[in-house]
Structure 1
Amino acid sequence: MLAKATKLLLVEDDEDDYILTRDYLEQLSSHVFDIDWISSPEQAIHVLSKNEHDICLLDYRLGASDGLSVLKQAIKNGFCGPIIMLTGQSNDALDSAALDAGAVDYLVKSEMSGSRFARSIRYALARRDVEDERVERLKAEAENRSKDRFLAHLSHELRTPLSSILGYTELLMLSDFNKQAENELGVIYRNGKHLLSLLNDVLDLSKIAVDKLELSLGEVNLDSLMADVFTLMRVSALDKGLSLKFESLEPLPLVIRVDATRVRQILINLINNAIKFTEQGEIVVNAWTEVVNEREMLFFSIKDSGLGIAPEKQALIFKPFEQIADVESRSVGGAGLGLAICSELLSRMQGDISLDSHVGKGSTFTISLYPGDIRQVERNLLKLDLTPNMQQKVAPCQVSGKVLVVDDLRDLRVLVGHLIGSAGAAVDYADNGKQALEKVKKQLADGHTTYDIIFLDIHMPVMGGKEAAIELRKLGFKGAIIALTAATMKGIHSELNALGFDDMIAKPVDSNLLYQCLELRLGQKEQPTSSIQPMPKPSRDKKCFLLVEDDADAAQITQLLLESLDVDTDIATSVKDCKAVLEHNSNYDKVLLDMHLPDGSGLELAGFIKQHYPNIKRVIISGMEPDAVHIRQLKIEQVLLKPINLALLNQLV
């Protein structure tokens, strides 16, 4: 194969010198040159500005012009290749001037027949190659950094709204409302989880591509792990009328050392595929151990009675972005990343994945992974304890009356309104304090009965709750005004009472406290409102968390989920807010820190808290996986990846 010719531009106004230089270049055996000859300095600048040549030999004297001016202008215009200056006689001053102007070397024409000329050409081209490699490397590194930043931003931006979608759906599924919209809520929840699965697949593959995916090994109860997977996948199987069976062919180790999240991910992916491509019959999951190369490995097989995979497609399905499609062109969702990710993950777990499939008869995927040293671990058959732990809330009281809920967050308005409506009261809504005032003014002007209770959020745009309460009392509103606030610092009760509030309920709204309020104020309406004592405050022996999150929806749903777990939760929306809250009250069990805050980093804030409040445990909540090195350096106690759900928070509590 012929070497690629080096494009050389010779700028020389003497034809004899051009011919001699060309002859010398042709004698160089180390390179093949494609030579362009230009005699005019103006044309030289024009051609060099295109940056199309690998090297340039530039005569110092070009008629009345100076080659140095051509050199400087060419470099200024963007020529990146090496330029060697040629001159008729040796001159140290010209040599220095040429090198200072950007030439890589300076040669006397009489030396062009010697070894110095050849060496100068070789060195100039070698330096060019090194520089090209450096530029390409820097460009590649910049592109990788840019891609990492994009993926991190994408992860954060997608996981944050998913927290609200999945969190609120989960709350509704656990509430009495589930009876009215069970199917619809199920659709929302399943599709939200599917979006999260696709997001995780894309991010996992990107981390695998740049070798940044790390495993988090720990001791795992195998029976519990399998029960979790079975519980989750059984619903999907039943939806299609399929039977899902888990079997252990032999007693299995009760405890293994693996990355539980990744093992669960692999099993769910394979079982989900089996369900997806099976129209009738069953999916059977088997588990066993086997010694391979003097090490005991853990094996799983996932067998389905589905369509099977054609031989020519079996080699493709473990490659990224390749989707299995059957002969009937049935539409199958997904990004085509799952099996590729499973293969990569198992490789990192010192295991493997294989496939045995026949069209029309079904498929069997077999995976292996290293479970740690299990030689001395107690063994037993799988039990798969699947006792459900679901509890639905029912309103403990029935009242009548008119209630106005004022909050700028629609999700919270609807949630509080639903709780009030379930107790029997009529509910109206307003987005801010100004709208609430207008509704009350209209009722008073029409001579209608005003609201019995107004629930007012404190922080709202247009008009906040404090200003609205003052104006409502000026209008002559006699009903109860209850503050909804995340601020539970010392002195807040006195301040709110002075402004005209009757009481307050801390966010996230505790449904039991809300029902107590309704029963107290609407269950005995014959009593004057002013004589009613404030509702009892929540017990302070409960756990108390501080959540630092700037996204209002994500903060609200995390609050609500924690409240359902009987944890008092305050919210700060920035580094500054967090420091101010802790300065007034540092009696928190844990601080949950979002990674990206409007005025700083959650990791830096974690370091500040460690230094000034060492007794508070710190939990990082992030839309992307934080750098493991930073987490270890800051001694962060725990990391939660968005979207946050009830199960994650239950483990945290």
Structure 2
Amino acid sequence: MLDKATRLLLVEDDEDDYILTCDYLEQLSSHTFDIEWISDPKQAVEVLSKNQHDICLLDYRLGASDGLAVLKQAVENGFNGPIIMLTGQSNDAIDLAALDAGAVDYLVKSEMSSSRFARSIRYALARRDVEDERLERLKAEAENRSKDRFLAHLSHELRTPLSSILGYTELLMQSDFNEHANNELGVIYRNGKHLLSLLNDVLDLSKIAADKLELSCSDVNLDSLMADVFTLMRVSALDKGLSLRFESLQPLPLVISIDATRFRQILINIINNAIKFTEQGEIIVRAWTKAVDGREMLFFSIKDSGLGIAPEKQALIFKPFEQIADVESRSVGGAGLGLAICSELLSRMQGGISLDSAIGKGSEFTISLYPGNIEQVQRHVLKLDLAPKIQQKTAPCKVNGRVLVVDDLHDLRILVGHMISSAGAKVDYAEHGKQALDKVNKAQHQGNPYDIIFLDIHMPIMGGKEATIELRRMGFKGAIIALTAVAMKGIHSELSALGFNDVIGKPVDSSLLYQCLTNYSIATKKPVDKLAQPAQVQSCARFLLVEDDADAAQITQLLLESLGVETVVATSYEHTLEILKNDSQFDKVLLDMHLPDGSGLDLARYIKHHYHHLKRVIVSGIQPDPIQIKQLEIDQVLLKPINLALLGQLIEH
């Protein structure tokens, strides 16, 4: 297959020079050229503006016209290919003028028979290829950001109605009304939970793909964690008449350092699959430790007596969206994501997963993970409380005080309020942030302030982030708990910087809700987290924030404005130039490193040359190249995530 010809536009008014140039181009063995010849300057501008050529050779003298005018107009009209200026004689002034106007090189026609001509063509095309790759990369990054925003929106839109479905079903199941509809309520609840698990799987996989899934490791009691998993899964096993056994092959560490939530997710997923695909017999979960590459690892095996999996299909089950045929034939629900997520999570836990299975002989999954340094940790043989826990129908805590629940959805407000009032607190409601401010202000003037505010993030009129900043400005000292369906990377630190004390995800987990009531209620008199207090820095400064990510821009703008900094937001390279052209009266410009239409460092270079008075601050998720920072004389570098403390230091600096 022949390589695609390079589309070359030759703008030349001398026919002899056109013929000579074509001869020289044919002698270049590295490329095949599809040459279009134009002699009229106006026509050349029209053709170049269509941006359909890979490279342009442009004569400096075009009759009575000047090739520089064609060059400048073509660049302004959007031609982004390389342009090489040709002239009859060498002239340093013309050379510099051509390069300033956008040409990539300047050649004297007498040099076209030399190697310099070939080298100039090759370099120009290579630069074009590099630029194309950069634009493709920026396009892909922009698409990923769009996908992230879409998934965050999808999460919010789906979790919000699920909160009502699951919450109200739980209330009915725990009430006296469930006597005649217990089975029906159970069906609603189980299917709602199933929808939630599918949503979590899709979001988890997308966060893994975007490298935005973060693990939160802490010391965990292994006995308690395994007992919780056993209690949960034993009910599912008994429903199918199966036996479920947990056992340790040796004494295990009592305390390990892991992300308990993710580890539970892995175990529950694999055990649940074993129960699904086993019609009779038992599921055995065994645990042990073993030294691997000089450090002690924790291992678990989950063995079932099910149908087994054919060897040629075993690799598929660890790939996203793949399901083996007998899964489909037996109508077992799922999106085919669970084991793919388990594999990725275990990889992040410095471990892995393997499978040993044969048709008719069942399957055994073996997982490993690094439990932290357990060399000096006390050990015991695993003991499980075999008595299943009965769900409490009343609140597990008793508190007093006043609580304000703020959510634009009536069902969710009432649901959360019911949970809180069952614990003994007095509950008031608001539909959006502005209404919440009015109620808090009124309560404070009456000398009967709220102790805790549960505040939804996304609401009309005024959202939770804006409301929290205003609440702290008003002097509200109580706890503010965020209710959010969006659980993206960095959300906890961002909300903490805005003034929130804690975060509860949607659907609202009643145990987390009661824990917050216990931690922050008037009965316990828990002080407000110092991290949630806005920095006591006030300023009359004016900043230009260049950030294409809408969420990051909104949060940073809110933080800066809470410190008294007037903030204007630009979303791209071109948007920044447009703003500065009309208004350059800023104290500092905060530049994101990666913009959809250019580099933050390139923009910093442009600002340095054209707006000398502006101080430039690079905002980046990774540490930029210190050599580039020094060369560009960047005033300061801020590493994401941005918080009030960092911005306070920036203002003082």
Question: After TM superposition, is the score higher than 0.5?
Answer: yes
Give the match for residue 652 of structure 1.
516
1:206-257 CA-to-partner distances (Å, cap 9, x unmatched) read 1111211111112222232223222322232233232222223333333322
Contact 1:4 1:32 in 2 (8 A): no
Give the match for residue 256 of structure 1.
256
User: Residue 157 of structure 1: CA displacement?
Assistant: 1.0
* 2:413 is aligned with 1:583: no
Task: State the AA in 1 paired with 2:33.
Answer: D
User: Which of these two proteins has the greater Rg computed from alpha carbons?
Assistant: 1
**Secondary structure at 1:570's aligned position in 2?**
strand
Structure 2: how far apart are the matches of 1:372 and 1:92? 67
Structure 2: how far apart are the matches of 1:260 and 1:92? 69
Q: Give the gaps of 5 or more residues in structure 2.
A: 518-653
User: Residue 147 of structure 1: CA displacement?
Assistant: 1.2
Task: State the AA in 1 paired with 2:113.
Answer: S
Structure 2: how far apart are the matches of 1:609 and 1:293? 53
Structure 2: how far apart are the matches of 1:292 and 1:365? 18
**Secondary structure at 2:343's aligned position in 1?**
helix
User: Residue 638 of structure 1: CA displacement?
Assistant: 2.6
User: Residue 118 of structure 1: CA displacement?
Assistant: 4.1
Structure 2: how far apart are the matches of 1:174 and 1:118? 82
Give the match for residue 124 of structure 2.
124
Matches within 5 A, 1:46-195: 47-61=47-61, 67=67, 71=71, 74-75=74-75, 78-89=78-89, 102-114=102-114, 116-195=116-195
User: Residue 572 of structure 1: CA displacement?
Assistant: 2.7
User: Residue 310 of structure 1: CA displacement?
Assistant: 0.5
1:87-120 CA-to-partner distances (Å, cap 9, x unmatched) read 4456678667755664444444234334554454
Task: State the AA in 2 paired with 1:623.
Answer: A
Give the match for residue 36 of structure 1.
35
Q: Which moved more, 1:305-314 or 1:590-599?
A: 590-599
* 2:504 is aligned with 1:640: yes
Give the match for residue 383 of structure 1.
384
Give the match for residue 293 of structure 1.
293
> Structure 1 length normalisation: TM-score?
0.70
Structure 1: how far apart are the matches of 2:441 and 2:61? 76
**Secondary structure at 1:585's aligned position in 2?**
helix
**Secondary structure at 1:618's aligned position in 2?**
strand
State the superposition RMSD in angstroms: 3.1
Give the match for residue 486 of structure 2.
624
User: Residue 354 of structure 1: CA displacement?
Assistant: 1.1
**Secondary structure at 2:296's aligned position in 1?**
strand
Contact 2:399 2:423 in 1 (8 A): no
Q: Give the gaps of 5 or more residues in structure 1.
A: 394-509, 511-539
Give the match for residue 406 of structure 2.
548
**Secondary structure at 1:550's aligned position in 2?**
coil
Task: State the AA in 2 paired with 1:554.
Answer: L
1:417-444 CA-to-partner distances (Å, cap 9, x unmatched) read xxxxxxxxxxxxxxxxxxxxxxxxxxxx
1:483-533 CA-to-partner distances (Å, cap 9, x unmatched) read xxxxxxxxxxxxxxxxxxxxxxxxxxx9xxxxxxxxxxxxxxxxxxxxxxx
Structure 2: how far apart are the matches of 1:120 and 1:547? 68
Give the match for residue 268 of structure 2.
268
Structure 2: how far apart are the matches of 1:203 and 1:327? 23
**Secondary structure at 1:317's aligned position in 2?**
helix
Q: Which moved more, 1:366-375 or 1:348-357?
A: 366-375
Query: Structure 1 residues 311 and 551 mapped into 2: Cα distance closer, same or farther (>3 Å)?
Result: same
Task: State the AA in 1 paired with 2:288.
Answer: W
Query: Structure 1 residues 251 and 104 mapped into 2: Cα distance closer, same or farther (>3 Å)?
Result: closer
Matches within 5 A, 1:497-576: 542-576=400-434
User: Residue 344 of structure 1: CA displacement?
Assistant: 0.7
Query: Structure 1 residues 385 and 378 mapped into 2: Cα distance closer, same or farther (>3 Å)?
Result: farther
User: Residue 52 of structure 1: CA displacement?
Assistant: 3.2
> Structure 2 length normalisation: TM-score?
0.70
Give the match for residue 326 of structure 2.
326
Task: State the AA in 2 paired with 1:550.
Answer: D
Give the match for residue 315 of structure 1.
315
User: Residue 299 of structure 1: CA displacement?
Assistant: 1.9
Structure 2: how far apart are the matches of 1:550 and 1:329? 43
Give the match for residue 17 of structure 2.
17
Give the match for residue 346 of structure 1.
346
User: Residue 74 of structure 1: CA displacement?
Assistant: 4.6
Structure 2: how far apart are the matches of 1:88 and 1:641? 71
User: Residue 618 of structure 1: CA displacement?
Assistant: 3.0
Structure 1: how far apart are the matches of 2:24 and 2:12? 15
User: Residue 316 of structure 1: CA displacement?
Assistant: 1.6
Contact 1:252 1:382 in 2 (8 A): no
Structure 2: how far apart are the matches of 1:116 and 1:358? 67
Contact 2:21 2:112 in 1 (8 A): yes
Structure 2: how far apart are the matches of 1:48 and 1:388? 75
Q: Out of 454, 459, 467, which is 1:597 matched to?
A: 459
Structure 2: how far apart are the matches of 1:174 and 1:317? 38
Query: Structure 1 residues 604 and 384 mapped into 2: Cα distance closer, same or farther (>3 Å)?
Result: farther
Task: State the AA in 2 paired with 1:37.
Answer: E
Give the match for residue 617 of structure 2.
none
User: Residue 636 of structure 1: CA displacement?
Assistant: 4.6
Contact 1:49 1:78 in 2 (8 A): yes
Structure 2: how far apart are the matches of 1:373 and 1:355? 27
**Secondary structure at 1:346's aligned position in 2?**
helix
Structure 1: how far apart are the matches of 2:443 and 2:384? 47
Percent identical across equivalent pairs? 69
User: Residue 70 of structure 1: CA displacement?
Assistant: 5.1
Give the match for residue 199 of structure 1.
199
**Secondary structure at 2:504's aligned position in 1?**
strand
